[in-house]
Structure 1
Amino acid sequence: MIVVAGEALIDLVPSSQGPSLDGQLPALLPRRGGGPYNTAVALGRLGSPTAFCSRVSTDSFGEALLNGLRGGGVDTSLVQRGAEPTTLAVADISPDGSAGYGFYADGTADRLFSLPPELPAAARALSLGTCSLVLEPGASAYESLLRREAARGVFTALDPNVRPGLIPDPEAYRARFRSWLPHVALLKLSEEDALWLADGTPRRTAGRTPVRAGCGGCLYGGDPGAGGGPGAGEGGGRSAVLAAAREWLAAGPAAIVLTHGGAGLTVLTRDGRELTVPGERVTVVDTIGAGDTVNAALLHRLDAHDALSYAALAALGDKDWEDILRFAARAAAITCSRAGAEPPYATELAA
């Protein structure tokens, strides 16, 4: 079983781009979301035995979130409940399909997550990330879960999925991020997030919305230069990211997977290897949930390679990694081809 821990929330997605001709604002359509939530649903759809560990509201949105998990075959026995409202994320979709977010998270249920008892014996991997590791008091509980389960030998995966608008003290967060690395087996992050964590360079889309997601793992076709890619970082960003990644690897992870928008994915390994695969060509509707789909696809395919352990991850060869990364690229492309966080089912990838 793979346990995914973190927030579940509701994305409010505009039904159209900008005001209508008569000046009316577009309707906001509620969609189930949250990085960890999307990852859990994606894993369930791919056929991996999965459990979700979080705190979910008892309001109607919370019930809808639980129904979405159950519909994907995800175990909800580790979900805590609370009467507080569900977190809302208002999405802003740009013409290229990338999404920015403004969050309404004060006093919401998922922020009050508490450290659960030891995970079930069947738990082989734990995946964490996004807002859940930022917003207190829940963030400290999720951090304690990461440290405790890593000490027990559970395979751990981390996707920071940085939301700068939610981080009041960036330097304190960067220090906290570095403190997690000795407890992480697999680190996955977008090139934009890596650059922000490495040297504090503002994300390229900063200023347009309170929080900007970028492509964050969406692998798509079209303009080969769109959406960033290896070497696309400004001001020597590529070298800064690689230098930082090597430091992060030395601190703990066996491997780091970087996503480059339309240009694909790169894996960097602790023994000094670097392998990149291209993105899959697809017409982008939006990028919501694409990076989360990458998380799920990586874990699912690693399990297929019997590599959900630190030693097995470190022992993977280049051909193994090429298969794993290409699988993740295909899965993310399907998510990008449809509205909202709608990850693919196993049958779609088999086809």
Structure 2
Amino acid sequence: MSGKTSRLRVVQPNHLLTVQDRGRQGAMRYGVSQSGPMDWVRFTLATVLAGDTSAAFEVGIAGASFFAEGPVRIAVTGPGFGVRISGGRTASFEAPVLLTLEDGETLSLSPGATGMWAYVAVGGIDFGPPVLGSLATNARTGLGARDFGRPFPCTAAAHADPVLYEDPLDDGGPIGLLPGPQQHMFPEEVRRTFASEPYRLTDALDRMGYRLEGPPLKAVRHDIISDGIVEGAIQVPGNGQPIVLCADRAPTGGYPKIAIVANADRPRLTQHRPGDTVRFAWIDEDEARARRRTLAERCRHPIPRIRAAFTSEFLAARNLIGGVWGPSPAHED
């Protein structure tokens, strides 16, 4: 790490706060969960905006707060999440936003009416050494766990005004599905039901998986020889209620998998909360790849948002006097 160094402290950490990168690639063959972000789109956007980092804090619905010891460059993303700065100034923003948190200021992140996961990426942050080639935290195994009681060194940042960005993901429409490896074990009418009826997210959800509730999906049989599980696979146990397997999933499973959530649509699913209703639709591989490419491009080239309105706190945080107030030279006496 070069240049001046600042530090960032986590204020009152909770069990839904972790550090994630793109996960432990290639480790599942050894029985190690991959981990990584629950929402790869907002994670990617945050790291691109912050720069000089490949990992970020993943913040769950419980929210989080961070205290700066020296100025740091921070990007915050996450649907429905609000950002508040207190200390030397008071200001509120909505994510996605890129800002400089000044020395002695606290950034607080809180959920709104929607959204489950947010990301806080910090320019030049040092999360410590990787474990099995990754900085990702797996809460169940303890791999990559960190002492949030100590500060994290960061590259000091020059002051810059906050900039809001467009969210790259459109949350409308059904969740795209691709055929699972055991799709043939489910009769055609069952596959049609899955793509036509609503399913509700239950309270049983975490980084390992989301349990759904709806019309039962009955297979020819519900026990198979355990095989590998990719992220987004939807397995169906004997009760017929599907389970979407997420970032901290086990490497293998012994239930048939009717479908796999398309990569581009996984964030739309994981950002739903317990009690929310989702609908699914079968799509083909070409459409799934096209959606993935479009989202990746939007993350690589973030679009600043044109502000239609400014809050009083936003305006109060700025000097709007110089160069604005005063008579025009053409009207001087």
TM over 0.5, shorter chain: no
Greater relative contact order, per chain length (Cα 8 Å cut-off, separation 6+): 2
TM-score normalized with structure 1 length? 0.26
Higher helix share: 1
